[in-house]
Amino acid sequence: MTADGPAPDPGPARDGRAVDEEGLAETFSAVARRLRHLSRQTLEPWEINPGHARALGVLLRHGAMRLSALAEHLRIAPRSTTEVVDGLEERGLVARHPDPADRRAILVTPTDEGVRVGTAIRAARHAEAERLFGGLTPTDRAHLARILRALRD
């Protein structure tokens, strides 16, 4: 019951039970935790953390870019991007080069080893996703993708 009258009926769930937003949030959090755990496990062979893997993936998809552009893609602060790139550079996965269009600026590019590792990570993550989502029907996958995009946006 609310101040305005009875609480609105959340409507039936697929199995006929009422949708419980608190339970939905808890389930969503549990799935997110499982994804983070699987991601860390998947990255263990390369001794790389998820933030570094994301940055390497962006560089593989988009090519050489300035730190500021990488920060925008990753949606993190430029200072944090510097730390991520430092870590990748220490591992020999990226290199910094002067930007030919502006010699004051620096471009970050994946090295050959970075391309090799990034490609292997992408394949491992694809297999990880297939294991996680493989039990869903194609229709359920499409619905889940649509719902997640709506929540993200």
Kind and range of the H or E element at 94?
strand 94-99
pTM of the prediction? 0.77
- 64 in Cβ contact with 75 (< 8 Å): no
Query: How are strands ordered across the β-sheet holding 65-66?
Result: 65-66, 102-110, 94-99
| Other CB atoms within 10 Å distance of the CB of residue 86 | 12
Spans of all domains in the chain: 26-152
- 91 in Cβ contact with 105 (< 8 Å): no
Q: 26-152: which CATH architecture?
A: Orthogonal Bundle (1.10)
Q: Output the tens digit of pLDDT for each of the chain's 153 residues.
A: 444 444 444 445 555 455 677 788 899 999 999 999 999 999 999 999 999 999 999 999 999 999 999 999 999 999 999 999 999 999 999 999 999 999 899 999 999 999 999 999 999 999 999 999 999 999 999 999 999 999 989
